[in-house]
Structure 1
Amino acid sequence: MVRGCHVVADNAMPSFPDSAFRGFSGPGYVSGFRSLLQPDNPSRHPRLEDVREAERREVLDGFVGSLRDVGALCGSVCEVEYLAGMKRVVGLAIAGSEDAYLEFAAMYNRLGEMSSDDFVRFSAAGNHAARILLGHFFLLAQVVEMINHRRGRSREGRFRARVTLAWLEGIEEGLPGELKGYLGWPLGFARGRMRRLDGGEGGFVGMGLS
């Protein structure tokens, strides 16, 4: 969808900044995400440190380890850059910087900024490395949201968690047996998170993050 909005903006809509699609542009998406971080926004979680540090670090350190493993699969420039972008988001989150959310928002536009050839290669059904990367990105969206907004226990948060788990399971199903392990940590996190939400619990730890 984001890539489609880039195509519309570049080729079919001279007044794109004034259109209904403007929120999907790079500046529009980052601006929308930035508004969630304003102190007067009721959904904003004031500080990263408000989530217990041990819980936060367990999740983020697990994510770092999983991304490190996936790095061995990345061969193309696009794959390496996509991986590097996620590492930057997690690194900023570990440092307690709200720039993590802006960097994450900007990542949504990476697919739109790829050339046609690069996008075809990245999105090919047989590009297992890219699919594993996208699986991590889907989960990163949920982790960033939980850390910043504490929406995980809301109806919206439960829906997002369920959709994320379904996406991850779909990706894993299409992977060769020898590559399924690269989604081990994301799936463990997503399944554990869903169990806790179904049981009315919050937080991060105790979710089968082995």
Structure 2
Amino acid sequence: MHTAGSLQELTPIMSNPNSPNKEEASCDGASPKPARKRAVPGRGHCKSRKGCFNCKKRRVKCSEELPSCRGCRRLGLDCLYPPPPQPALTPSRNPSPRPSTLRLEDLRFFHHFLTAAYPALPFGLDHIWQTVAAMAHEYDFLAHSILGLAAQHLTVSTTSNFSIEALDHRVSAIAALNEALSKTCLSLNDADARFAAAIALTFQSSYMPDGMMDFFRMLRGWMAIQTTLVPAMGESMFHAIKEDTYVKSMRKLLGAAADADEEERRELQQTLQDFMASLRLVAPLCRSAAELHYVASLERIARVCEMSPVNACLELVPFYAVTNDMDADEFANFTNPTNFTAQILLAHFWMLTHVLQRHALGPARASLVRDEIIFQWVETAVHKLPGSHKRYVLWPLGLARLRGRSGNFEGPREING
């Protein structure tokens, strides 16, 4: 049996005129003269599928030169080539960031976004998020971002668990958004869609038990898109989303909150004293300019809270984005998991946020704050600290566990220290 390669070895033997299978004499014994075969047009070369139309019609080999082949130049013809074939799409072995099929859960997520999961702050932007939802079919990253936000919101607000679906949409949204950000923005709608996706991803991270650092990274990306892609905010549908708008929204909510009674005020004063004592213990650990600024700002907000929890809450609004004022190196160092001082400061920040909003907002805060997420962020941050640093987080960790037990919340793990 011959292999495929053997066929090539047999070919010259079959065509050799001296082959023993050939007749060596004619009827009269003279050597026959080989008959001349008539040339067949187009048979003296390999077929080309890229030649011009004129050469194909004439059935001759095209030189395939641009802009005009030799044959067309010689004959004075207009040389036209067929369009290049489009590459065939092949399925990838890796998961696609843009799934082509719609899952039934996605319909539930989309409805939940429209009715409950769209970003709650600033107030009065419901109609904008309705418009964003209508734009989602044009932008993959926007669709994935709002579905991921809704899935995560359902997970923390109901007994259903869609954390896997939320993460799938989040990964797809970030991959598609990064691809979009690498290209030029062609319209204001393009900029608004990217801005909306960044906001949705930021809010989603605020509902993720392990999303503390993601929250600050997304918040920083949100601000970068706002200042670079949407410079003409007056023309954007998000022109109302500014720092002063958030402050006004919080002031409106604070105005509707009930006044605290005397016992609550005493409790708050004691909590603030404990916070200040813990912060004084942490302050000597701060070395970088970012850390020093952070601890000083926390102390200032606590001082304001001693006089007015409402004003302290208003001071807290811009403080959420204080990490946006850091340069790239400062931010990378501050969010590095091995920067234990920053982790300790963040644990204090989140528990101060919980305390302020609990006393200043009262029942009105239920739609804005997920206490169990804050408690898990504190637990997770403390768990990663070495034993030598556990004493610096006794106040935030103790308060998180105390409030967690009163709300029937159990931390993700038991931490000694």
Q: TM-score range by the shorter chain?
A: 0.7 to 0.9
8 Å contact kept, 2:351–2:374: yes
Distance 1:56 1:30, change over 3 A: same
Q: How does 1:118-133 map to 2 (within 5 A)?
A: 118-133=330-345
Aligned to 2:224: 7
Distance across 2 between alignment mates of 1:50 and 1:149: 16
Identity of aligned residues (%): 29
Distance 1:67 1:135, change over 3 A: same
Distance across 2 between alignment mates of 1:87 and 1:168: 19
Aligned to 2:329: 117
Residues 1:193 and 2:403 are matched in the alignment: yes
Aligned to 1:45: 258
Aligned residue type for 1:35: K
Shift of 1:130: 0.8
Aligned residue type for 1:121: N
Shift of 1:65: 0.9
Higher Cα radius of gyration: 2
Distance across 2 between alignment mates of 1:174 and 1:148: 31
Residues 1:170 and 2:383 are matched in the alignment: no
Aligned to 1:36: 253
8 Å contact kept, 2:233–2:239: yes
SS in 1 for 2:397: helix
Distance across 2 between alignment mates of 1:97 and 1:189: 18
Q: How does 1:1-210 map to 2 (within 5 A)?
A: 1-16=218-233, 18-20=236-238, 23=241, 25-38=242-255, 41=256, 44-46=257-259, 52-96=264-308, 98-151=310-363, 160-198=370-408
Shift of 1:155: 6.0
Q: Normalization by structure 1: what TM-score?
A: 0.81
8 Å contact kept, 1:51–1:147: no
SS in 2 for 1:151: helix
Aligned residue type for 1:171: A
- Unpaired runs of 5+ residues, structure 1, are 200-210
Aligned residues, how many? 191
Q: Normalization by structure 2: what TM-score?
A: 0.42
Aligned residue type for 1:4: G
CA RMSD of superposed structures (Å): 2.4
Aligned residue type for 2:408: D
- Unpaired runs of 5+ residues, structure 2, are 1-217, 410-417
**Structure (1/2) with the larger helix percentage:** 1
SS in 2 for 1:137: helix
Q: Relative contact order: is structure 1 or structure 2 higher (C-alpha 8 Å, sep ≥ 6)?
A: 1
